[in-house]
Amino acid sequence: MSAEKKNALTEGSIAKGMITFAIPMFFGQLFQQLYNMADSLIVGNFLGSEALAAVTSTGSLIFLLVGFFNGLAIGAGVVIARYFGARDYKNLKIAVHTDVAFGFVCGIIMTLVGVLLTPQILKLMGTPADVFPNSVAYLRVYFLGSLAVVLYNVCTGILQAVGDSKHPLYYLIVSSCTNVVLDLIFCGVFRLGVEYAALATVISQFVSVVLCFARLVRANDVYKVYVKEIRMDKEMLKQIVRIGLPTGLQNSIISLANVVVQSNINAFGKMAMAGCGAHSRVEGFAFLPVTCFSNALTTFVGQNLGAKQYDRVKKGAIFGVFCTIVLAECIGLIVYKFSPQLVALFDSNPEVVQYGVMQARTTTLFYFLMAFTHASAAIMRGAGRSAVPMYVMLVSWCAIRITYITIMVRIIPDIRVVFSAYPITWTISTIIFLVYIFKVDWMYGFEKQEA
C-alpha cells in the first residue's frame, strides 16, 4: 500500500489520526532515550558517581551541536510534508534527495567540530578537574558517530513527513537493545570506562541508520531514495534552510543557555552534577509524550497546509495543544511525587538524590508551561514560520535565562536559584506565544494565496 493511501493526517478523524501517528513516535523516542538511560544507569552503578557526572554533564554540549543539525532536518521534514500533502511528488523526490545529501555534509561537519573542540568547550563550561578527563573521553568517542546521528534523524524525518512513524520505531528497538547489551558488556562486565559507553552508543546509532536508510532505498513508494540521485538541488536547499535554519538556531540557542546553566551547576561540585544529570535523564523520559505530540503537530500542520485544508489545520492545532498541556501536567505531578525513587535509579548516593529531587520539585509542577511553548513552536514550524519560535526562545530561554542566572547566583549562591530559571523563562515564553497567537493570524498568508 502506498504512503498516500496509508496517510491518516489529511483525512478522517483529527484526534485518531494525530494519536495514531504520535504513539509509534512515543515508543520510538522512548527507546531513543534508552541510549542515554543505559549509559547513565550502567555507568552510575558500575563505574561510580564521578563517571556518571562525566556522562550526564555532557548532555547540553551534545545537544548544542546535534540540535542544530536536527533543526535543519526538521525543516526538510516540513518541506517534504507540504509537498506530500499537495501530492506534488516531483518536488517531493527532489526534496528527499537534497535532504539526504545535505545530511551527509552536516554529519561530517559535526564530527570534525565535535572531536576537535570538545576540550575547549568543556573548559569554558567550567568542568571540574576530577571529571574533565572522563568527559573528554566520552564526548570525543560520541562525536565520532555524528554522521550516524544526523543521517538517522534525516531518514526518520523523511518517513515521518509522509506519515510513517512505525518503521523508525522498529529500528530504534533494535539499536536500543544493541546499545544496552554493549553497555553491559563494556562497562558492567569488563569495567572499561566511559569512552566505551560512548562506543556502545556509536555502534547502536550506526545500526539504526543502516536499517532506516535501507528502508528508504528499497521502498516502492513516492519517497524512495535512489543512491545515484543523491545530490543537493540549490532551490530546494534554500527552502529547507529557510525553514530549518531558525529551528536549528533555536535548538542551539536553548543548548547554549543550558551550557551556561550546566556551568553554574558545575560550580556546586560533582555531586550536584551527578544529581542534576540524573534528573535530566528522568525529565527526558517524562517529557516524551509532549515531544511526540509536538512532532505530530508539525507534520499534521505541514501536510494539511499542503492540502489547503485550513479549517482542519486550526482544529488540529487546538486539539494538539490541549492534549500536550494535559499530558505534561499529569507527568509533572507523577515525577514530583516519585522523584526520590526515580533519581535513585541512577545513583543511590544520598547527596546525589538530594540534588536531583531538589531540581525536580522546583520545576515539574510547571511542565504545562513548557508544553504550551513546545506545542506552539511546533505549529509555527509546520506552518513554515520557524523564525517565530526562534525569536521567542532567543529572548526567553536564552537571553533572560542567562541574565537571570548570572546575576541572581551572585546575589544568592544557592543552586535552587539556577533551578528556578526554568519555570520563570517557561512562563515568559508562554506569555509571548499567547500574545502572538491572539494578535497575529498565522494562517492568513496561506489562505490569501488560496484566494
- DSSP string computed for 140-204: HHHHTTHHHHHHHHHHHHHHHHTT--HHHHHHHHHHHHHHHHHHIIIIIIS---HHHHHHHHHHH
Fill in the DSSP letter of residue 9.
Answer: S
Residue 4 lies in a domain: no
Q: Are 374 and 332 in contact (CB under 8 A)?
A: no
Residue 5 lies in a domain: no
Q: Are 34 and 175 in contact (CB under 8 A)?
A: no
Angle ∠(308,313,318) on CA atoms, nearest 5? 170
C-alpha–C-alpha distance, residues 184 and 34, integer Å: 13
In what helix (H) or strand (E) does residue 5 lie, and over which residues does it extend? helix 3-6
Task: Give the HSE-up count for residue 441: Cα atoms under 13 Å, Cβ half-sphere.
Answer: 8
Residue 366 lies in a domain: yes
Q: Are 95 and 61 in contact (CB under 8 A)?
A: no
Q: pLDDT per residue over 39-71, tens digit each? A: 677 887 788 877 877 776 677 677 777 778 888
Residue 329 lies in a domain: yes
Residue 3 lies in a domain: no
Fill in the DSSP letter of residue 396.
Answer: I
Spell out the per-residue pLDDT of the chain, length 451, in tens.
444 445 558 888 898 888 888 888 888 777 767 666 666 778 877 888 778 777 766 776 777 777 788 888 888 999 999 999 999 999 999 999 999 999 999 999 989 988 998 899 888 777 888 888 998 999 999 999 999 989 998 999 999 999 898 898 899 889 888 988 998 999 889 888 889 988 998 999 999 999 999 999 999 899 999 999 999 999 999 999 998 888 888 887 777 777 788 888 888 988 998 888 888 878 887 888 888 888 889 989 999 998 889 889 989 999 999 999 999 999 999 999 999 999 998 888 999 999 999 999 999 999 999 999 999 999 988 888 888 898 998 899 889 999 999 999 999 999 999 999 999 999 999 999 998 887 766 554 445 444 3
Structural domains of the chain, count: 1
Residue 177 lies in a domain: yes
Domain of 100? 12-450
Angle ∠(25,31,35) on CA atoms, nearest 5? 135
Residue 384 lies in a domain: yes
C-alpha–C-alpha distance, residues 181 and 178, integer Å: 5
- pTM comes to 0.78
91-97: list long-range contacts, CB under 8 Å, 24+ apart: 91/236, 92/222, 92/223, 93/222, 93/223, 93/229, 94/233, 94/236, 95/236, 95/239, 95/240, 96/158, 96/216, 96/223, 96/225, 97/225, 97/226, 97/229, 97/230, 97/231, 97/233
Residue 356 lies in a domain: yes
